Amino acid sequence: MANELMNRFDLDPFFDRMAHHFFSPSDFDKDYENFGNLKTDINETDKDYSLKIDVPGIDKNNIHLNYQDGVLSININQEHSSEQKDENGKVIASERSHGVMSRSYQLPGVDRDNISAHIDNGVLNVTLPKVTESEDQTGNIDIQ
Give the model confidence (pLDDT) of 40-61 as tens digits: 999 999 999 999 999 988 888 9
> Do 43 and 84 reside in the same domain of the chain?
yes
> Do 19 and 72 reside in the same domain of the chain?
no
> Do 59 and 109 reside in the same domain of the chain?
yes
Strands 71-85 and 91-106, by their bridges, are: antiparallel
Q: How much of the chain exceeds pLDDT 90, in percent?
A: 40
In the prediction, which pLDDT does 133 show?
A: 64
> Do 15 and 82 reside in the same domain of the chain?
no
Cα–Cα separations (whole angstroms), residue 55 to 34, 48, 50, 62, 86: 10, 22, 16, 10, 33
> Do 88 and 113 reside in the same domain of the chain?
yes
> Do 13 and 81 reside in the same domain of the chain?
no
In the prediction, which pLDDT does 16 show?
A: 52
Count of structural domains within the chain:
2
Q: Which residue segment(s) compose the domain that 27 sits in?
A: 1-34
> Do 64 and 18 reside in the same domain of the chain?
no
Answer whether residue 127 is part of any domain: yes
What global pTM score does this model have?
0.61
> Do 63 and 99 reside in the same domain of the chain?
yes
Closest C-alpha to 31, from 75, 82, 107, 105: 82
Average pLDDT over residues 118-134: 89
Average pLDDT over residues 4-9: 42
> Do 44 and 27 reside in the same domain of the chain?
no
Q: Which of 38-52, 78-92, 130-144 holds the top average pLDDT?
A: 38-52
Q: How confident is the model at residue 121 (pLDDT cuts 50, 70, 90)?
A: very high
What CATH number is attached to the domain comprising 81?
A: 2.60.40.790
